[in-house]
Amino acid sequence: MLKLEIRQGSKIFHAGKITLHALQDINLSIHENEFVTLVGASGCGKSTLLRIIGGLENFTAGDVSVNAAPVTGPGLDRAMVFQDYSVYPWLTVAENIRFCRELKAHQQDNSLRATYHAIGRAHALLELMGLDNVKNAYPNQLSGGMRQRVAIARALMPAPEILLMDEPFGALDAQTREVMHGLILHLFTQERSTIVFVTHDVEEAIYLANRVVVMAPQPGRIDSIYNVPLPPAGQRHLDMKLAPEFLSLKKEILQRIRATARVHTDAGLLDKLTKQHHHDNEEGRSL
């Protein structure tokens, strides 16, 4: 079933006389229970695209729809996990996870049954994320990896249909990140939600996803889309990162990213500088 659809999405920034095409003609369909990662060189607009899906920003032209209904702002069908600093330091781990229950938007149903259900879900999330023994600790007392677990659990609390993740493990060290990958794959199979995940780490993008969307800058656009030839999320393990098909896909994607990131600027400049250097040398010799 089609979950999320982006049609002809463009976003243009005006900075003085300069017009910046942050995103141009984005078309993307994501199905239910699909794990899609967005990768690309910096400036390709992957985070902007995710924020637009989340309703935090808008396209200048084009539209996004979830379950065939147009997105006009943040909604309870989508939840978002940020890179860092989004967990509330004044609340304990458990209070952070229950935060949404404090909001009017989540208090439509205050029946005993709904409350009971919420308590149960909070407990289940604490357990699922391995936070049970630190549930009364404050975020400042936790490591970066633990804090991100809290952020993910908090986002999952209202049982969103789509989970949007903006480089959630970008600030973590390599080992913690691998642990988090295992966790997120487990969670994905358990929750059966749809995940859109932004990262600059190609290996992470392949290991987690069903499909990898490679984006390119200037203008920000979708360059290519790859299906990941790995077993379903529940059956993946770290050794698969060394499988030949994994490595060849990684190579292909890295090449695409390098090719698109370099476009004219670096190569052109380098060329010019080299020529200048030669020229100077020639002159030096003739003197």
Q: How far apart are CA 78 and CA 245, in angstroms?
A: 33
Q: How far apart are CA 49 and CA 239, in angstroms?
A: 32
Q: How far apart are CA 101 and CA 113, in angstroms?
A: 14
**What DSSP line would sit under 75-135, residue for residue?**
-TTEEEE-SSS-S-TTS-HHHHHTGGGGSGGG-S--SHHHHHHHHHHHHHHHHHTT-GGGT
Q: Which of 158, 178, 179, 183 binds other proteins (CB under 8 A)?
A: 158
> How many residues interact with other proteins (rule CB under 8 A)?
35
Contacting range for other proteins; rule: CB under 8 A; set: 84-92, 231-239, 246-254, 255-263: 84-92
- The two structure tokens encoding residue 100: 């949404």
- Whichever of 96 and 260 has its CB closer to other proteins, that residue is 96
Contacting range for other proteins; rule: CB under 8 A; set: 139-147, 179-187, 207-215, 256-264: 139-147
Q: Which of residues 28-57 bind other proteins (CB under 8 A)?
A: 54-56
Nearest CA-CA partner of 195 in 248, 237, 230, 152: 152
Nearest CA-CA partner of 158 in 110, 198, 111, 125: 125
In angstroms, the Cα distances linking 101 to 130, 184, 227, 229 are 21, 23, 38, 40
Nearest CA-CA partner of 27 in 227, 215, 262: 215
Q: Which of 151, 184, 198, 202 binds other proteins (CB under 8 A)?
A: 151
What is the phi-psi region of residue 41: left when phi exceeds 0, alpha when psi lies from -120 to 50, beta otherwise?
beta
For 286, residues 6+ apart whose C-beta sits below 8 A from its C-beta are none
100 counts as binding other proteins under rule CB under 8 A:
yes
Q: Which of 72, 85, 116, 281 binds other proteins (CB under 8 A)?
A: 85
Q: Which of 10, 33, 65, 83 binds other proteins (CB under 8 A)?
A: 83
78 counts as binding other proteins under rule CB under 8 A:
yes
Q: Which of 8, 89, 259, 279 binds other proteins (CB under 8 A)?
A: 89
Q: Which of 10, 20, 63, 99 binds other proteins (CB under 8 A)?
A: 99
133 counts as binding other proteins under rule CB under 8 A:
no
CA 13 to chain centre: 22
74 counts as binding other proteins under rule CB under 8 A:
yes
Contacting range for other proteins; rule: CB under 8 A; set: 138-146, 181-189, 229-237, 252-260: 138-146
Query: Using CB atoms within 10 A of its CB, is residue 116 exposed (0-12), middle (13-18) or buried (19+)?
Result: exposed
- Whichever of 7 and 106 has its CB closer to other proteins, that residue is 106
- Whichever of 152 and 206 has its CB closer to other proteins, that residue is 152
Contacting range for other proteins; rule: CB under 8 A; set: 136-144, 171-179, 226-234, 239-247: 136-144
Q: Which of 38, 64, 79, 156 binds other proteins (CB under 8 A)?
A: 79
CA 106 to chain centre: 25
116 counts as binding other proteins under rule CB under 8 A:
no
Q: Which of 45, 62, 139, 219 binds other proteins (CB under 8 A)?
A: 139
Q: Using CB under 8 A as the criterion, which residues of the chain lie in contact with other proteins when the complex forms?
A: 54-56, 74-76, 78-80, 82-86, 88-91, 99-100, 102-106, 137-141, 151, 154-155, 158, 164
